[in-house]
Amino acid sequence: MKATIKHKKEIYSVDLSAPLDISIPLTGDVSNVNAWYIEQPRIEAHREGDFVGKVTEGASTNFNDIWFNPHAHGTHTECVGHITEEFHSVNQNLKKYFFLAEVITIAPEKQKGDFVISKKQLQYAIRNSKAEAIVIRTMPNLREKLNKQYSNSNPPYILEEAARYLVELGIIHLLIDLPSVDKEHDNGELLAHNAFWNTNGSIRKHATITEFIFVDNAIKDGSYLLNLQVAPFENDASPSRPVLYKIIEE
Protein backbone atom coordinates (compact mmCIF):
# COMPACT_ATOMS: atom_id res chain seq x y z
CA MET A 1 0.00 0.00 0.00
CA LYS A 2 1.50 3.29 -1.12
CA ALA A 3 1.10 6.42 1.01
CA THR A 4 2.00 10.03 0.42
CA ILE A 5 3.47 11.97 3.32
CA LYS A 6 3.84 15.75 3.52
CA HIS A 7 6.81 16.90 5.58
CA LYS A 8 7.85 20.55 5.83
CA LYS A 9 6.27 21.42 2.48
CA GLU A 10 7.87 18.43 0.73
CA ILE A 11 6.02 15.34 -0.45
CA TYR A 12 7.37 11.82 0.11
CA SER A 13 5.93 8.50 -1.01
CA VAL A 14 6.38 5.31 1.01
CA ASP A 15 5.20 1.72 0.71
CA LEU A 16 3.38 0.91 3.95
CA SER A 17 3.23 -2.78 3.00
CA ALA A 18 7.01 -3.11 3.35
CA PRO A 19 7.89 -2.16 6.97
CA LEU A 20 11.45 -2.54 8.23
CA ASP A 21 11.26 -3.35 11.92
CA ILE A 22 14.47 -2.33 13.74
CA SER A 23 13.43 -3.40 17.24
CA ILE A 24 14.71 -6.35 19.26
CA PRO A 25 11.92 -8.58 20.63
CA LEU A 26 11.80 -9.36 24.32
CA THR A 27 11.91 -13.01 25.39
CA GLY A 28 11.70 -14.52 28.83
CA ASP A 29 14.97 -16.44 28.92
CA VAL A 30 18.74 -16.04 29.08
CA SER A 31 18.99 -15.53 25.31
CA ASN A 32 17.41 -12.10 25.68
CA VAL A 33 19.77 -9.17 25.11
CA ASN A 34 20.86 -7.71 28.45
CA ALA A 35 22.86 -4.91 30.09
CA TRP A 36 23.31 -3.06 33.38
CA TYR A 37 24.08 -6.05 35.60
CA ILE A 38 20.57 -7.32 36.22
CA GLU A 39 19.03 -10.73 35.67
CA GLN A 40 17.17 -11.82 32.56
CA PRO A 41 13.56 -10.76 31.93
CA ARG A 42 10.83 -13.21 32.86
CA ILE A 43 7.57 -14.14 31.15
CA GLU A 44 5.76 -16.60 33.40
CA ALA A 45 2.26 -17.91 33.96
CA HIS A 46 0.59 -16.09 36.85
CA ARG A 47 0.25 -18.26 39.93
CA GLU A 48 -2.18 -17.65 42.78
CA GLY A 49 -3.07 -20.46 45.11
CA ASP A 50 -3.98 -23.46 42.97
CA PHE A 51 -4.44 -21.28 39.89
CA VAL A 52 -1.83 -21.39 37.11
CA GLY A 53 -2.51 -19.05 34.19
CA LYS A 54 -1.73 -21.54 31.45
CA VAL A 55 -4.15 -23.38 29.20
CA THR A 56 -1.98 -26.51 29.18
CA GLU A 57 -2.32 -26.62 32.98
CA GLY A 58 -6.10 -26.30 33.06
CA ALA A 59 -6.73 -22.56 32.84
CA SER A 60 -9.18 -21.16 30.29
CA THR A 61 -6.61 -18.58 29.13
CA ASN A 62 -2.91 -17.98 29.07
CA PHE A 63 -2.33 -15.27 31.69
CA ASN A 64 1.32 -14.28 31.97
CA ASP A 65 3.20 -11.98 34.32
CA ILE A 66 6.11 -10.12 32.71
CA TRP A 67 9.12 -8.73 34.58
CA PHE A 68 11.62 -6.59 32.70
CA ASN A 69 13.56 -3.34 32.78
CA PRO A 70 13.15 -1.20 29.64
CA HIS A 71 16.72 0.12 29.81
CA ALA A 72 18.32 -3.30 30.16
CA HIS A 73 16.20 -5.76 28.22
CA GLY A 74 15.63 -4.55 24.69
CA THR A 75 14.63 -1.76 22.38
CA HIS A 76 13.42 1.22 24.37
CA THR A 77 12.84 4.93 23.90
CA GLU A 78 13.70 7.35 26.69
CA CYS A 79 13.19 11.03 27.39
CA VAL A 80 15.10 13.53 29.52
CA GLY A 81 13.40 12.13 32.61
CA HIS A 82 15.96 9.35 32.48
CA ILE A 83 18.58 11.69 33.97
CA THR A 84 16.66 14.45 35.81
CA GLU A 85 15.42 14.78 39.36
CA GLU A 86 12.13 16.07 38.00
CA PHE A 87 9.84 13.39 36.61
CA HIS A 88 9.31 13.41 32.85
CA SER A 89 7.30 10.76 31.02
CA VAL A 90 8.26 9.62 27.55
CA ASN A 91 4.58 8.88 26.98
CA GLN A 92 3.74 12.54 27.57
CA ASN A 93 6.72 14.04 25.73
CA LEU A 94 6.52 11.98 22.53
CA LYS A 95 3.41 13.31 20.80
CA LYS A 96 4.30 12.78 17.12
CA TYR A 97 5.21 9.41 15.66
CA PHE A 98 6.37 9.86 12.06
CA PHE A 99 9.71 11.48 11.21
CA LEU A 100 12.06 11.85 8.29
CA ALA A 101 15.05 9.74 9.30
CA GLU A 102 18.48 8.92 7.97
CA VAL A 103 20.17 5.57 8.50
CA ILE A 104 23.96 5.77 8.76
CA THR A 105 26.62 3.14 9.39
CA ILE A 106 29.67 3.88 11.52
CA ALA A 107 32.62 1.80 12.66
CA PRO A 108 33.49 3.28 16.09
CA GLU A 109 37.09 4.46 16.27
CA LYS A 110 39.52 3.69 19.06
CA GLN A 111 40.41 6.51 21.44
CA LYS A 112 42.17 6.04 24.79
CA GLY A 113 41.29 2.37 24.91
CA ASP A 114 37.59 2.84 24.11
CA PHE A 115 35.66 2.57 20.86
CA VAL A 116 33.72 5.78 20.25
CA ILE A 117 31.59 7.63 17.72
CA SER A 118 33.09 11.04 17.04
CA LYS A 119 31.78 14.29 15.61
CA LYS A 120 34.05 13.87 12.61
CA GLN A 121 32.52 10.49 11.82
CA LEU A 122 29.01 11.93 12.01
CA GLN A 123 30.00 14.83 9.77
CA TYR A 124 31.22 12.36 7.18
CA ALA A 125 28.25 9.98 7.43
CA ILE A 126 25.24 12.30 7.63
CA ARG A 127 24.01 13.49 4.25
CA ASN A 128 20.36 14.49 4.77
CA SER A 129 20.21 17.94 6.34
CA LYS A 130 16.41 17.70 6.62
CA ALA A 131 16.34 14.60 8.82
CA GLU A 132 14.67 14.85 12.23
CA ALA A 133 15.88 11.43 13.33
CA ILE A 134 19.21 9.66 12.96
CA VAL A 135 19.50 5.86 13.04
CA ILE A 136 23.04 4.68 13.80
CA ARG A 137 24.14 1.17 12.87
CA THR A 138 27.55 0.33 14.30
CA MET A 139 30.09 -2.03 12.78
CA PRO A 140 30.64 -4.90 13.00
CA ASN A 141 26.93 -5.55 12.64
CA LEU A 142 26.56 -9.17 13.68
CA ARG A 143 23.32 -10.92 14.61
CA GLU A 144 24.80 -11.62 18.04
CA LYS A 145 23.59 -8.11 18.91
CA LEU A 146 20.14 -9.69 19.29
CA ASN A 147 21.32 -11.78 22.24
CA LYS A 148 24.49 -10.11 23.50
CA GLN A 149 25.15 -9.81 27.23
CA TYR A 150 26.66 -6.32 27.54
CA SER A 151 27.32 -5.99 31.26
CA ASN A 152 30.96 -5.18 32.01
CA SER A 153 31.91 -5.26 28.31
CA ASN A 154 32.64 -1.52 27.81
CA PRO A 155 30.60 -1.16 24.59
CA PRO A 156 31.21 1.71 22.12
CA TYR A 157 29.55 5.03 22.90
CA ILE A 158 29.00 8.55 21.52
CA LEU A 159 31.36 11.37 22.45
CA GLU A 160 29.89 14.50 23.99
CA GLU A 161 30.96 16.66 21.03
CA ALA A 162 29.21 14.25 18.67
CA ALA A 163 25.96 14.48 20.64
CA ARG A 164 26.19 18.27 20.57
CA TYR A 165 26.70 18.13 16.81
CA LEU A 166 23.44 16.20 16.40
CA VAL A 167 21.64 18.94 18.34
CA GLU A 168 23.20 21.55 16.05
CA LEU A 169 21.85 19.65 13.05
CA GLY A 170 18.34 19.72 14.52
CA ILE A 171 18.16 15.98 15.20
CA ILE A 172 15.27 15.36 17.59
CA HIS A 173 15.34 11.58 17.78
CA LEU A 174 18.53 9.56 18.15
CA LEU A 175 18.40 5.79 17.61
CA ILE A 176 21.39 3.50 18.11
CA ASP A 177 22.13 -0.24 18.28
CA LEU A 178 24.04 -0.04 21.57
CA PRO A 179 22.83 -0.32 25.19
CA SER A 180 23.66 3.35 25.80
CA VAL A 181 24.88 6.47 24.07
CA ASP A 182 27.29 6.90 27.00
CA LYS A 183 30.21 4.94 28.37
CA GLU A 184 29.28 2.01 30.59
CA HIS A 185 31.40 3.21 33.53
CA ASP A 186 31.61 7.02 33.49
CA ASN A 187 31.06 7.98 37.15
CA GLY A 188 27.53 9.10 36.35
CA GLU A 189 28.59 11.92 34.02
CA LEU A 190 26.33 10.82 31.13
CA LEU A 191 27.94 13.39 28.85
CA ALA A 192 26.16 12.39 25.63
CA HIS A 193 22.74 12.14 27.29
CA ASN A 194 23.15 15.57 28.87
CA ALA A 195 24.43 17.13 25.66
CA PHE A 196 21.64 15.69 23.51
CA TRP A 197 18.92 16.84 25.91
CA ASN A 198 20.73 20.14 26.59
CA THR A 199 20.25 19.84 30.35
CA ASN A 200 22.46 22.87 31.01
CA GLY A 201 20.25 25.13 28.91
CA SER A 202 16.74 24.97 27.51
CA ILE A 203 15.95 21.29 28.02
CA ARG A 204 14.82 19.47 24.90
CA LYS A 205 11.86 17.68 26.45
CA HIS A 206 10.54 16.66 23.03
CA ALA A 207 13.79 14.88 22.09
CA THR A 208 14.20 11.13 22.56
CA ILE A 209 16.97 8.55 22.59
CA THR A 210 16.22 5.00 21.47
CA GLU A 211 18.76 2.33 22.37
CA PHE A 212 19.13 -1.39 21.65
CA ILE A 213 17.83 -1.30 18.08
CA PHE A 214 19.04 -3.72 15.42
CA VAL A 215 19.42 -2.55 11.81
CA ASP A 216 19.73 -5.55 9.52
CA ASN A 217 22.53 -5.40 6.97
CA ALA A 218 19.94 -5.59 4.20
CA ILE A 219 18.73 -2.09 5.15
CA LYS A 220 20.81 0.38 3.17
CA ASP A 221 22.04 3.72 4.44
CA GLY A 222 19.85 6.59 3.36
CA SER A 223 16.55 8.35 3.98
CA TYR A 224 13.46 6.67 5.41
CA LEU A 225 10.17 7.49 7.06
CA LEU A 226 10.43 6.46 10.72
CA ASN A 227 7.40 5.39 12.74
CA LEU A 228 8.46 5.64 16.39
CA GLN A 229 5.88 4.15 18.74
CA VAL A 230 6.23 3.47 22.46
CA ALA A 231 4.08 1.46 24.83
CA PRO A 232 2.07 4.03 26.83
CA PHE A 233 4.00 3.73 30.08
CA GLU A 234 4.11 6.80 32.33
CA ASN A 235 7.84 6.37 32.85
CA ASP A 236 11.10 7.96 31.74
CA ALA A 237 11.48 5.12 29.22
CA SER A 238 9.25 2.59 27.54
CA PRO A 239 9.63 -0.46 25.30
CA SER A 240 9.37 0.71 21.70
CA ARG A 241 9.09 -0.60 18.16
CA PRO A 242 10.73 1.76 15.66
CA VAL A 243 9.80 0.88 12.09
CA LEU A 244 11.34 2.28 8.90
CA TYR A 245 9.64 2.74 5.53
CA LYS A 246 11.74 3.20 2.43
CA ILE A 247 11.07 6.43 0.57
CA ILE A 248 10.03 5.76 -3.01
CA GLU A 249 11.87 7.76 -5.61
CA GLU A 250 9.33 9.17 -8.08
Residue 34 domain-assigned (yes or no): no
pLDDT digits (tens, 9 = 90+) for 57-106: 999 999 999 999 999 999 999 999 999 999 999 999 999 999 999 999 99
* CATH classification of the domain holding 17: 3.50.30.50
Residue 175 domain-assigned (yes or no): yes
Residue 102 domain-assigned (yes or no): yes
Residue 41 domain-assigned (yes or no): no
Average pLDDT, the chain: 96
Residue 207 domain-assigned (yes or no): yes
Residue 8 domain-assigned (yes or no): yes
92: phi then psi, degrees, rounded to nearest 5? -85, -30
Closest by Cα among 145, 149, 136, 68 to 108: 136
Residue 6 domain-assigned (yes or no): yes
pLDDT digits (tens, 9 = 90+) for 185-244: 999 999 999 999 999 999 999 999 999 999 999 999 999 999 999 999 999 999 999 999
The pLDDT of residue 10 is: 75
CA 121 to chain centre: 20
pLDDT digits (tens, 9 = 90+) for 128-144: 889 999 999 999 999 99
Closest by Cα among 198, 224, 217 to 209: 198
pLDDT digits (tens, 9 = 90+) for 20-53: 999 999 999 999 999 999 999 999 999 999 999 9
Residue 250 has pLDDT above 70, yes or no: no
Looking only at the bridges linking them, the beta strands covering 173-176 and 208-211 are: parallel
Closest by Cα among 111, 110, 133, 109 to 215: 133
Residue 2 has pLDDT above 90, yes or no: no
Q: Which residues contact 241 (CB under 8 A, 6 or more apart)?
A: 21, 23, 75, 229
Chain length of the chain:
250
- Whether residue 132 contacts residue 118, with contact meaning beta carbons closer than 8 Å, is answered with no
This prediction's pTM: 0.96
Residue 13 domain-assigned (yes or no): yes
The pLDDT of residue 4 is: 76
Domain count, the chain: 1
Which string of DSSP letters, residue by residue, matches the chain?
A: -EEEEEETTEEEEEETTS-EE------SSTTS-B-TT-PPPEEEE-EETTEE--GGGT-SS--EEEE--TTTSS-EEE-GGGS-SS---HHHH----EEEEEEEEE-PEEETTEEEE-HHHHHHH---TT-SEEEEEESS--GGGGT-B-TTS---EE-HHHHHHHHHHT--EEEESSS-SS-SSSTT--HHHHHHHTTTSS--TT-EEEES----TTSPSEEEEEE--B---SSSEEEB--EEEEEEP-
